[in-house]
Structure 1
Amino acid sequence: MIRTNKLVSFLEENDLDGILIHNPANIFYYSNFKGTSGSLLMTKTLNYLITDFRYVDQAKASAIDFEIVETDTIETIDIAINKLRKKHKLYKLGLEGDVISRNTWLDYEKKLTSRLVNVNIDHLREIKDQKEINLIKKAIEIAETAFLDTLNKIKIGMTEKTVARILEFKMLELGAEAIAFNTIVASGSRGALPHGVASDKLIAKNELITIDFGCVYKGYCSDITRTFAIGKIDEKLLEIYDIVLQANKLGIKTLAANQKACYVDQVVRDFISDNGYGDNFGHGLGHSFGIEVHENPRLNQISNKTLQSGHLLTVEPGIYVSGLGGVRIEDDVLILDDGIEVLTSLNKELIILEEENV
């Protein structure tokens, strides 16, 4: 009900009679519907889920507070919306212009009798409620348990892809419904690739390995990164690891309600620069996540967002040196009124797997 009330307030503030929602994340947020074909038409008093024959039963079971409207090749979505427009006097209708294609927008403009207004409602999902936090905590627990299990199974000579598959299978075995994103396994010099998705490269001794991983549990994501070692590591990489670890801790310490997101990023960026690696940290410090693995607010140099209690953010500084390798350490942190709660619990000190054991 709180979610719906926020949306109604948004409609009132923007002088809208209703909104047509196409973003799958927003559809799930308001209705709990996860079918691959469906739209929501939400008004100030009544809500509809519009879908086709394939998903009607699923819609009835999941979207219990919505009236289900079935469409087909004859009773198309625009016809259904126009009928509801007449019934509820929906003269001015919000439409997520950054979600649908230009051709879809033009088609709606031609066929719908409501005046269309381009809107974005993603910001209404920024503050996480307790139910969401609990689901995210479970997604984190599954991912962390799977990671620790995977550490015991890594062998020299395995491909990065094999490591990723072991980790992903364990997350699914522990109750995840899906993988949150393509698992990153970047070993050796490939560690210099911030998004080095697992490849056919073989795991070798005397290398760092960065794994960026997460899963989806009941619709909500986790997102964690750890870097660890096999055997003896180059002194420069050990130095880099320590800098990134201190940067991670500094970022977490700087997070607070009423703090500017760009300030948190700048504090960490300055620390890394002061240690000689400013040019090797080329991405933002972090981002929010929930139903989607990348949500707002972002911790970067241009985000003027003021952090609030209920914001849930990653803190993931990294240093990447071409030809040598890289390090990233990522934690998930919840902003509270009177502080923070670090939701990730994995050890951050450098884990070194002994050669004879792998």
Structure 2
Amino acid sequence: MTSFADTRFSNRRRALASAIAAQRLDAILVTHLTHVRYLSNFSGSNAALLVNKDLTARICTDGRYTTQIATEVPDIEALIERNSAVALLGTVQGPRRVGFEADYLSVTQLEKLQAAAPEDVQLVPVSGVIEKLRLVKDNLSQQRLRDVAALATTALDDLLTAGELAVGRREIDVAADLEYRMRKLGAERPSFDTIVASGPNSAKPHHGASDRVITAGDLVTIDFGAHDRGFNSDMTRTFVMGHADEFAAEIYQVVLEAQLAGVAAATPGTQLVDVDKACRDIIEAAGYGEYFVHSTGHGLGLDVHEAPYAAQTGTGVLAAGMTLTIEPGIYVPGRGGVRIEDSLLITDGAPEIITIMSKELTIV
């Protein structure tokens, strides 16, 4: 297992080295912790990684992680310094062009790097290089995503079976029970703050969970995910409490049809904007276009939200090995809303849905 992990991470660094060489860079200083983990397996809260075009690399963290970095990253020379990025930059012998992750540095952090850089080291802003490498998931990453999605789905199934989504309960209590169940099943933490949005709150796409008491007739949207071994899950289901009125039944059916259309469209070679359009056209045709206020979906992996993005402004095409959520919604202020979301693995044929749970209208 150790040699497999070493090969996986070194292969990623090899691909990165090739990419930076194509941009006439001698090295890249990686400071975004998600990318440090992607390229090295290190999961601590303070680290930087220097990858050279000749395939050599050096990593740095502080003394809290001396033992951890030796275990997680046995194949890279490690420095132990508190200011990891500055320490690594100080080891560079020029003349060198060193890229830095422009999308993840504050002005203050960049000023510190500029002050630390030797005179013959030129810092060059780089954007999107590692994100592009992350688009297509390897087999192990795909399996980790299946596993964490199954964990989260089981937690929601168990919550429903136990009657913990019920009239008279507060949104925040339902959210706490769901997060507890995910942890009991092995999750390290939730992927994000669990959304339990009931009644008029269901018309707020990112409501959160409040002390509102769930009442009969409410639409209740639950958007949640689990985080385990670096990977995240993300899914949404909307339920009706006690009985569904005409409005609830209508918008649920529209969103379901839109979601199914989006899933069907998510095949290799499809433009991301067309995946969004597949969902949006159905909602607009039903007269609810103005109430679909967000994009259709996003990639999923080490981050909950990552490329690719299926949106009206989306660019690029899907390819096998990518991930994508499909999550259309209708949100009518003062009345309620519905969102249905699945996470997909894009395959050579139809997409693989990894959030396996019924999407039919469920009355609790």
TM-score, normalised by the number of residues in structure 1: 0.94
Offset, 1:52: 1.4
**One-letter amino acid of the structure 1 residue matched with residue 19 of structure 2:** F
**One-letter amino acid of the structure 2 residue matched with residue 149 of structure 1:** D
In the other structure, the counterpart of 1:149 is 158
Offset, 1:116: 0.6
**One-letter amino acid of the structure 2 residue matched with residue 23 of structure 1:** H
Offset, 1:110: 2.2
- Look up the SS of the partner of 2:137 in the other structure: coil
Offset, 1:301: 0.6
1:199-278 to structure 2, matched below 5 A, reads: 199-278=210-289
The alignment status of 1:315 with 2:326, answered yes or no, reads yes
- Look up the SS of the partner of 1:327 in the other structure: strand
The alignment status of 1:112 with 2:151, answered yes or no, reads no
1:252-286 CA deviation, whole Å, 9 max, x = no partner?
A: 01111011000111121111101100000010000
- Look up the SS of the partner of 1:336 in the other structure: coil
Offset, 1:115: 0.5
1:37 and 1:90, CA in 2 relative to 1: closer, same or farther beyond 3 A? farther
In the other structure, the counterpart of 1:91 is 96
Offset, 1:80: 4.3
1:290-327 CA deviation, whole Å, 9 max, x = no partner?
A: 01100011000111211111110000000000010000
- Measure the CA separation in 1 of the matches of 2:47 and 2:217: 51
- Measure the CA separation in 2 of the matches of 1:177 and 1:192: 30
- Measure the CA separation in 1 of the matches of 2:110 and 2:48: 14
Offset, 1:72: 4.7
CA contact (8 A) 2:31 2:104 kept: yes
Aligned residues: 348
The alignment status of 1:170 with 2:181, answered yes or no, reads yes
In the other structure, the counterpart of 2:107 is 102
Structure 2 gaps of 5+ residues are: 1-9
Offset, 1:5: 2.0
Offset, 1:227: 0.4
The alignment status of 1:63 with 2:73, answered yes or no, reads yes
In the other structure, the counterpart of 1:13 is 22
Offset, 1:135: 0.6
**One-letter amino acid of the structure 1 residue matched with residue 67 of structure 2:** D
**One-letter amino acid of the structure 1 residue matched with residue 363 of structure 2:** I
- Measure the CA separation in 1 of the matches of 2:87 and 2:188: 35
- Measure the CA separation in 2 of the matches of 1:172 and 1:5: 36
Offset, 1:94: 0.8
Of 153-162 and 167-176, deviating more is 153-162
Offset, 1:90: 6.2
**One-letter amino acid of the structure 1 residue matched with residue 169 of structure 2:** M
- Measure the CA separation in 2 of the matches of 1:132 and 1:257: 19
- Look up the SS of the partner of 1:303 in the other structure: coil
1:184-221 CA deviation, whole Å, 9 max, x = no partner?
A: 00011110000110100011111111000000111100
1:323 and 1:117, CA in 2 relative to 1: closer, same or farther beyond 3 A? same
The alignment status of 1:78 with 2:86, answered yes or no, reads yes
- Measure the CA separation in 1 of the matches of 2:58 and 2:340: 43
- Measure the CA separation in 2 of the matches of 1:176 and 1:90: 46
1:322 and 1:130, CA in 2 relative to 1: closer, same or farther beyond 3 A? same
- Measure the CA separation in 1 of the matches of 2:69 and 2:204: 42
In the other structure, the counterpart of 2:132 is 123
Identity value in percent: 38
**One-letter amino acid of the structure 2 residue matched with residue 98 of structure 1:** D
**One-letter amino acid of the structure 1 residue matched with residue 81 of structure 2:** T
Structure 1 gaps of 5+ residues are: 354-358
1:230-255 CA deviation, whole Å, 9 max, x = no partner?
A: 11122011100000000000000111
CA contact (8 A) 1:176 1:216 kept: yes
- Measure the CA separation in 1 of the matches of 2:262 and 2:235: 15
User: Superposition RMSD on alpha carbons, in Å?
Assistant: 1.3
Offset, 1:68: 0.5
In the other structure, the counterpart of 1:36 is 45
Offset, 1:82: 2.3
CA contact (8 A) 1:315 1:331 kept: yes
In the other structure, the counterpart of 1:50 is 60
- Look up the SS of the partner of 1:117 in the other structure: strand
CA contact (8 A) 2:202 2:337 kept: yes
Match of 1:303 among 305, 308, 314: 314
CA contact (8 A) 2:86 2:112 kept: no
In the other structure, the counterpart of 2:5 is none
- Measure the CA separation in 1 of the matches of 2:41 and 2:82: 22
1:158-196 CA deviation, whole Å, 9 max, x = no partner?
A: 110000000000000001111100100001111000011
In the other structure, the counterpart of 1:26 is 35
